[in-house]
Structure formats: C-alpha cells, structure tokens
C-alpha cells in the first residue's frame, strides 16, 4: 500500500504547491516525534494558510478516515496544529474525535500530545480542541472505575495513560494514588470492599489491586483487615456506642461472632475491652 506522502508527492507535482510541499517533506526529516522542541521548524510552513488548506483537503481525499495506526501522518498533524486556520483546526478535530469514538488509544493519545504541546506554546487557536480533549479525558477518567471488557462505557485508557495525561494537560489533575487513599481512609468501614475502593479511585478492581500491591507492598485485603481492627478498637475504647452497634457497623450480625473476633485479635471480649478502658479512665 502506497504511503500517504507518496500519494501527496504525485498530487502536489501537478499543482502550484509542489515547491512548498517538497520543503515540508524536507523539514519533516528534522522533526523528532518524541521531542516537541524539534517541531517548531514547521511553523513557517504552517503559516502558509492556503497551502495547509490544500494539504488537509488532499489528506481527507486520500484517507476518508484516519488510519488505525498513525505513523507518518503524525507529522502532518503537527504541521496542521501550527496553522492558525479553521479548516486546519477542523481537520484536527475530526481526526481526534474519530480516534476517540473508535476507542483508538494510540491515535487519541497522539492527538492529545500534539495539541497539548503546541497549545502550551501559546497557539490559542487550539483552545477549542484542547477543551474538547479535556472533556473526553475527564469522561474516560470517570469511567475508569467501571473498566470491563463487557462494559460498553468502560475506558480504553490505562492508569499509566492517565498519569501521562496529567503531565500533558495543565487542567487535568488526577489524584495521586496515595492521596486518593488518604482522602478515603475516614470513609472506610468494617464492610468496605476492595471493589468499593476501586470505584472511588476511578479504577477497575484488578487495576486497583495491582496498583495497591505495588504502592504499599501488601494486598488491599490485608490493609482493609487492619483498618477494620483499628476502627473496632477505637469504637470500643473511645466511644460509648452500645456493643451491638459497634458489631453491626463493622459487619457482624451475631454478637458471638463479634466476640470471637475480638478474642482472636485483641485477646479480650468486647465487654472486657470496654471495662478495661473504663477502669483506666477512673484510675
């Protein structure tokens, strides 16, 4: 299959844009996709609005829809991003939205990186697309907690992607993992599950459990058990709540089960723990 640039070379050779297009292809050799600082060599060519309009029209004709795996097209996208023209912007909007609608991770992230990098240099004509991207990213971030191959509304972006997007997009501030858990600690009850924590952190259960183990070096189930013990001990020693209420609020339906739990974990029954606390206060 012929490359896009080869098709465009043939088309350009029959137009007044041939010299301009040859210069663009020459400049492309200086552009390193991974180094946005090298992209600025395209600014002068991008300011030829009529030429860029011709180019994006030809790209649309060659590719009715953007390719599944953007490769050489990325440099054409960068060129269009520097052009302060609505037609060039419309080309980028259509490309980015196509990748988003088709859940094409590589294509969407490529567009985000280009728009975020060029927009950060003060090219305000990209503000509309930047805001559209922000809306899409926030939607996916909210959907991260429902990630599932069977869920049509689950996100196609990974936790690593969201961390990268947090560095690219100044207005996207995903919580750091530890910060999320610190904010959630006071909400943890004796009935809290890892799935509930995962949803609160906008993650799937499997992603959350893996990230938790990497971050704290213990399984989330063990962490929840420790939080439950701390909560029960605090409620028995520092409050006047009836024992049955302490038991129920921590997931125990039977007093005997709660009593056995306290014996195993604290060496005393709930009543003995409460009495010891009262005797210490009196003395």
Architecture of domain 178-282: Orthogonal Bundle (1.10)
What per-residue confidence (pLDDT) applies to 15?
97
Domain residue ranges in the chain: 4-123, 178-282
SS (H, E, C) the chain: CCCHHHHHHHHHCCCCCHHHHHHHHHHHCCCCCCCHHHHHHHHHHHCCHHHHHHHHHHHHHHCCCCCCCCCCHHHHHHHHHHCCCHHHHHHHHHHHHHHHHCCCHHHHHHHHHHHHHHHCCCCHHHHHHHHHHHHHHHHHHHHHHHCCCCCCCCCCCCHHHHHHHHHHCCCCCCCCHHHHHHHHHHHCCCCCCHHHHHHHCCCCHHHHHHHHHHHHCCCHHHHHHHHHHHHHHHHHHHCCCCHHHHHHHCCCCCHHHHHHHHHHHHCCCHHHHHHHHHHHHHC
What per-residue confidence (pLDDT) applies to 1?
41
What per-residue confidence (pLDDT) applies to 192?
85
Low-confidence ranges of the chain (pLDDT < 50): 1, 146-150, 152, 283
What per-residue confidence (pLDDT) applies to 40?
97
């Amino acid at each position: 299959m012929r490359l896009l640039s080869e098709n465009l070379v043939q088309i350009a050779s029959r137009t007044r844009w041939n010299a301009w297009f040859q210069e663009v292809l020459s400049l492309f050799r200086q552009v390193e996709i991974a180094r946005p600082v090298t992209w600025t060599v395209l600014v002068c060519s991008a300011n030829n609005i009529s030429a860029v309009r011709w180019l994006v029209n030809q790209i649309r004709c060659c590719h009715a829809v953007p390719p599944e795996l953007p490769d050489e097209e990325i440099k054409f996208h960068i060129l269009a991003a520097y052009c302060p023209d609505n037609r060039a912007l419309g080309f980028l909007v259509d490309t980015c939205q196509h990748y988003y609608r088709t859940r094409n991770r590589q294509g969407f992230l490529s567009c985000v990186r280009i728009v975020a990098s060029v927009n950060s240099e003060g090219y305000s004509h990209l503000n509309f697309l930047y805001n559209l991207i922000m809306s899409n990213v926030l939607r996916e971030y909210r959907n991260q907690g429902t990630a599932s191959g069977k869920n049509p509304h689950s996100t196609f972006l990974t936790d690593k992607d969201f961390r990268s997007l947090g560095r690219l997009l100044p207005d996207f501030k995903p919580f750091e993992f530890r910060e999320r858990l610190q904010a959630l600690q006071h909400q943890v009850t004796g009935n809290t599950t890892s799935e509930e924590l995962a949803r609160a952190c906008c993650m799937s259960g499997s992603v959350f459990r893996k990230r938790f183990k990497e971050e704290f070096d213990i399984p989330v189930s063990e962490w929840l058990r420790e939080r439950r013990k701390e909560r029960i001990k605090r409620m028995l020693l520092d409050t006047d709540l009836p024992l049955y209420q302490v038991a129920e609020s921590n997931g125990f339906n039977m007093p005997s089960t709660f009593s056995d739990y306290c014996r195993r974990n604290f060496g005393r029954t709930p009543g003995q723990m409460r009495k010891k606390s009262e005797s210490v206060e009196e003395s």
